[in-house]
Amino acid sequence: MDQPLPNTPLVKFYRFLPGARAPQRADRSAAGSMPTRAFRYCEAMRTASALGWYMFPPMNFKLMWDGANDVVWNYENNDNWYSLNAAQFPDFASHFDGIAPPDIQGYSPPFLGSFKDPAGLMLWSGFAARTAPGWSLLVRPPANLTRSLGYESYEGIIETDRWFGPLFVNLKLTRPNVPIEFDADYPFLQVQPVHRSVYGDALDRFDIVENLEDLQPTDWDDFRKTVSKPMADPHRPRGEYAVETRRRRQGEDPGET
């Protein structure tokens, strides 16, 4: 598996939109929203929550869908609603053209874009990204974080070691005739590193044990260790899996907590 060179990042984010909040390493508490019991004892949830980086909307804004074909939007410090087809981030097009090489001027990425499908749209994070060779980014909703009921996010894998462009997500609005708010201080995406080798032909290599009778003695030994022996011990410590996993992780990376 390709590994980044020593002291080089696995991913580098490039801020295009001025003032857009920088990506942030996702944390094991799901931005403080995870129930205390789960945070203490459910290492599976903690690990999933921390995999990747949070992305934030580049500003506060609202969307509203009429339930048919039309979407309008409104942004901070502005009382007007605008029909949405393709919208630039406020004042960005001129900022982009003032910096970009002449042959790229006029190609500033849109902040929002609507699809022909009702309630479908594209939302840009304000960033581009590059990953180390062989690595891609899975763009998805934040793991274990409370989500808006007003929209759904489609997941996608971008081969960001080969493709350098806007880091965006496709959305589908689900609640008509109500403002759907996006908060610049609340993550709306989580991007997770995925090596190309794990989403290609490798996924064709799997097997199924069809019946309980087909389990081998080693399988029963592992099940005994994981399930029946701990359950039979009335004095077993809580969160044993979590403790063992954290201890093993700290041994592999002393900086982990």
pLDDT digits (tens, 9 = 90+) for 222-240: 999 888 888 787 776 666 6
- CB neighbour class for 247 (10 Å; exposed up to 12, middle 13-18, buried from 19): exposed
CA 133/CA 153 separation, integer angstroms: 27
For residue 189, the number of C-alpha atoms closer than 13 Å in the C-beta half-sphere is 29
Longest dimension (CA), the chain: 73
> What residue spans in the chain does CATH classification 2.70.40.10 cover?
11-201
19: left (phi over 0), alpha (psi -120 to 50) or beta: left
**In which band, very low, low, confident or very high, does the pLDDT at 253 lie, cut at 50, 70 and 90?**
low
CA 206/CA 221 separation, integer angstroms: 22
pLDDT digits (tens, 9 = 90+) for 24-67: 999 988 887 888 887 887 888 898 899 999 999 999 999 999 98
At 155, the amino acid letter reads: E
Tokens of 67: 């339930």
Q: Which CATH superfamily does the domain covering 11-201 fall into?
A: Deoxyuridine triphosphatase (dUTPase) (2.70.40.10)
Strand partners, 11: 131
* CB-based contacts of 146-154 (< 8 A; 24+ apart in sequence): 146/33, 148/180, 148/181, 149/174, 149/175, 150/63, 150/174, 150/175, 150/178, 150/180, 150/181, 151/63, 151/175, 151/180, 153/188, 153/189
Q: Are 52 and 27 in contact (CB under 8 A)?
A: no
Tokens of 253: 């990376």
**In which band, very low, low, confident or very high, does the pLDDT at 254 lie, cut at 50, 70 and 90?**
low
- Please name which of 23, 28, 26 lies closest in space to residue 55, comparing C-alpha atoms: 23
* 7 pLDDT more than 80: no
**In which band, very low, low, confident or very high, does the pLDDT at 208 lie, cut at 50, 70 and 90?**
very high
99: left (phi over 0), alpha (psi -120 to 50) or beta: alpha
